[in-house]
A and B are shown apart, each in its own frame.
Chain A
């Protein structure tokens, strides 16, 4: 069954061309820059320089992990709650969750500034009671909040989808066999929604670890994340393209490894438990 029909090749052709031009070629260019110096000679010097960005890498990972955990803790109960609603209400709630995604993510991030700023909505409100102003913006908390806010739909959706596929008769069977509601969640819903959790984590962790805009606007450039470092280097001038490409390549490999580990974890769970 390896041979694909002529028809299916034709149908896939436009995207294959697109993918080649805009995904494969840029990757090759990036790899080329990563392994060359300014004059195009092969070198691994660029990899020596990344030690300077240790802190950015570490911060990116920590922020992304924290944001992913918070997102999961918020999204999982929400997804569970949604599956218990009437079908019409489920659609409504789903709409509300998707609604912010209709707006550009830069604008959504920007609007948090007006909420968190020292003269922003929250501090103005607290000011009425003589409290504050509290330092909300330009803190690590604000960056993580931004990530959670921007990426939470990507966590809710796959978990909700996985949960709503669980046949109600399985829950009745568990109840029949003596499971109370907590035991049903632990023994049936959690394992069966795991594939949704895995893809949710991937879909939140990947954009979180590589984000650059959120940290600049809500973190006040105090702590540079790896995405900011790459952007900064590219914006500074062509002489930094090689290092920036190296950082990008390393980030991509890191994401790839994380994704593979997550997927392996998910596969194992289904078989072993």
Chain B
């Protein structure tokens, strides 16, 4: 992409007391893109958003908007608008007045205000809701009012702070499409914050994976999923088998006691690396035809496929397959070269092991969902 940067964050540091929330963050946001900040609770994604909005000043670093430094410019003078996690609609105003809020502050003429509010409510499919009080609206409708209120000001950048977290699954899916449609239709930059990796992958032009106040990887959803930069990204986005390996040579990797052909190069000879193999990229074959051999220890039927755990020399692999297997079967694994992704060793190496503690990991994920505050 050769689009111009609309926002640049340069070396941003933020601490709350002892705790480092943003640790030297650098991020360029391009004009008209849909960019998502993705990470677990406490990774600094909401803080990043608040710095762009102007609700928070960085301890150090520079916020640049359209090539101008806007450090210290108060939020009411910035050409960005925010959609808040719990919508923050004004309870004393009806739907019309909520959407009209920013326009009244700008002292637009009543006729203009009416035109814009009507247009915005139409855009979010809330025609005829003008006189309704906020408290009579469902969560999804409140969400739409919040969107209409923010875009009525024609911001250059719209910041969305986990806007879908409070909605149920079906509504969330609908709103994902809706937001995407609105973003394309209006052609404004969306900066979207979420801890939901699926949401990030479906909606975004680019995803920024964050952890511990640092950016782990920036890329298209495909890049992030197929070419994770380190074990954290590989683990956070989708399911992965992450193994210790050694690069014997360009295009040759050894792990689990077997030498594989792969498509990665540029590592030192015999460099220790992390190897990622996605569960859906492994084929189950008869034991004597496999590159690796192991025993099935668990089988879950998930509808489209089975999710099975195979113990190979003590390392538990997760494999998604449409072939039916049974616990106790001896099976072989066949892995194509393009299914193997090699990563440099990082501070996250070894933190994400195999699937022997699978159930605990699920609990950990549900923790994140509940605790969406930062």
A binds B: yes
* Chain A interfacial positions (CB closer than 8 Å to B): 167, 169-170, 172-180, 183, 187-188, 191-192, 269-271, 273
| In contact, B84 and A175 (Cβ under 8 angstroms) | no
**B358 to chain A: which residues have CB within 8 Å?**
none
Contact partner of A170 among B76, B88, B97, CB < 8 A? B88
| In contact, A173 and B90 (Cβ under 8 angstroms) | yes
Asked if B351 is at the interface (CB within 8 A of a chain A CB), the reply is: no
Taking the closest CB of chain A, its distance from the CB of B195, in whole angstroms, is 19
Contact partner of A173 among B74, B82, B97, CB < 8 A? B82
**Which residues, 11 to 57 on B, are CB-close (under 8 Å) to A?**
53-55
Taking the closest CB of chain B, its distance from the CB of A176, in whole angstroms, is 5
Q: Give 12 A-B contacts (CB < 8 Å), ordered by A residue.
A: A169-B85, A172-B53, A172-B55, A175-B74, A176-B81, A177-B81, A177-B102, A183-B76, A183-B105, A187-B101, A192-B91, A270-B92
**A273 to chain B: which residues have CB within 8 Å?**
92-93, 97
Are A188 and B90 also in contact (CB < 8 A) when A172-B84, A173-B82 are?
Answer: yes
Taking the closest CB of chain B, its distance from the CB of A172, in whole angstroms, is 6
| In contact, A180 and B88 (Cβ under 8 angstroms) | no
| In contact, A176 and B106 (Cβ under 8 angstroms) | no
Taking the closest CB of chain B, its distance from the CB of A32, in whole angstroms, is 46
A191 to B75, CA, bound (A): 22
Number of residue pairs across A and B with beta carbons under 8 Å?
66
Please encode chain B, from 75 to 110, with 1 for each CB lying within 8 Å of some chain A CB and 0 for all others: 111001110111011111100010001101110000
A188 to B92, CA, bound (A): 8
Asked if B316 is at the interface (CB within 8 A of a chain A CB), the reply is: no
A271 to B93, CA, bound (A): 8
Taking the closest CB of chain A, its distance from the CB of B224, in whole angstroms, is 29
9 further A-B pairs in the complex, CB-CB below 8 A; given A175-B55, A178-B105, A183-B105: A167-B88, A172-B88, A173-B89, A175-B74, A177-B81, A177-B153, A178-B153, A179-B76, A188-B90
Taking the closest CB of chain B, its distance from the CB of A55, in whole angstroms, is 42
| In contact, A176 and B92 (Cβ under 8 angstroms) | no
| In contact, A192 and B92 (Cβ under 8 angstroms) | yes
| In contact, A177 and B74 (Cβ under 8 angstroms) | no
**A170 to chain B: which residues have CB within 8 Å?**
88, 90
| In contact, B82 and A179 (Cβ under 8 angstroms) | no
Question: Which of B53, B80, B84, B92 has the most C-beta atoms of chain A within 10 angstroms of its own C-beta?
Answer: B92
A68 to B55, CA, bound (A): 37
Asked if B278 is at the interface (CB within 8 A of a chain A CB), the reply is: no
Q: How many residues on B have C-beta within 8 angstroms of the other chain's C-beta atoms?
A: 29
Taking the closest CB of chain A, its distance from the CB of B353, in whole angstroms, is 40
A173 to B153, CA, bound (A): 13
A104 to B82, CA, bound (A): 52
A270 to B90, CA, bound (A): 11
Contact partner of A180 among B76, B90, B97, CB < 8 A? B76
| In contact, A176 and B90 (Cβ under 8 angstroms) | no
| In contact, A172 and B75 (Cβ under 8 angstroms) | yes
Are A174 and B101 also in contact (CB < 8 A) when A169-B84, A179-B76, A180-B76 are?
Answer: yes
**B144 to chain A: which residues have CB within 8 Å?**
none
Asked if B206 is at the interface (CB within 8 A of a chain A CB), the reply is: no
Are A175 and B88 also in contact (CB < 8 A) when A187-B101, A187-B105, A273-B93 are?
Answer: no
Output the nearest chain A residue to B93 by Cβ-Cβ distance: A273
Asked if B341 is at the interface (CB within 8 A of a chain A CB), the reply is: no
**B84 to chain A: which residues have CB within 8 Å?**
169, 172-173
**B104 to chain A: which residues have CB within 8 Å?**
187
**A172 to chain B: which residues have CB within 8 Å?**
53, 55, 75, 82, 84, 88
**A192 to chain B: which residues have CB within 8 Å?**
91-92
Asked if B149 is at the interface (CB within 8 A of a chain A CB), the reply is: yes
| In contact, A176 and B82 (Cβ under 8 angstroms) | yes
Output the nearest chain A residue to B133 by Cβ-Cβ distance: A271
Please encode chain B, from 118 to 134, with 1 for each CB lying within 8 Å of some chain A CB and 0 for all others: 00000000000000010
Are A177 and B92 also in contact (CB < 8 A) when A169-B86, A172-B55, A172-B84 are?
Answer: no
A179 to B101, CA, bound (A): 9
**B150 to chain A: which residues have CB within 8 Å?**
176-177
| In contact, A173 and B76 (Cβ under 8 angstroms) | no
A177 to B104, CA, bound (A): 10
A270 to B135, CA, bound (A): 12
A44 to B106, CA, bound (A): 61
Taking the closest CB of chain A, its distance from the CB of B365, in whole angstroms, is 27
Taking the closest CB of chain A, its distance from the CB of B156, in whole angstroms, is 14
Contact partner of A179 among B55, B91, B93, B105, CB < 8 A? B105
**A269 to chain B: which residues have CB within 8 Å?**
92
A175 to B101, CA, bound (A): 11
Are A176 and B105 also in contact (CB < 8 A) when A167-B88, A169-B86 are?
Answer: no
Output the nearest chain A residue to B85 by Cβ-Cβ distance: A169
Taking the closest CB of chain B, its distance from the CB of A70, in whole angstroms, is 27
**B90 to chain A: which residues have CB within 8 Å?**
170, 173-174, 188
Taking the closest CB of chain B, its distance from the CB of A84, in whole angstroms, is 16
**B55 to chain A: which residues have CB within 8 Å?**
172, 175-176
Contact partner of B76 among A167, A178, A188, A270, CB < 8 A? A178
A273 to B82, CA, bound (A): 24
A192 to B88, CA, bound (A): 13
Taking the closest CB of chain B, its distance from the CB of A142, in whole angstroms, is 39
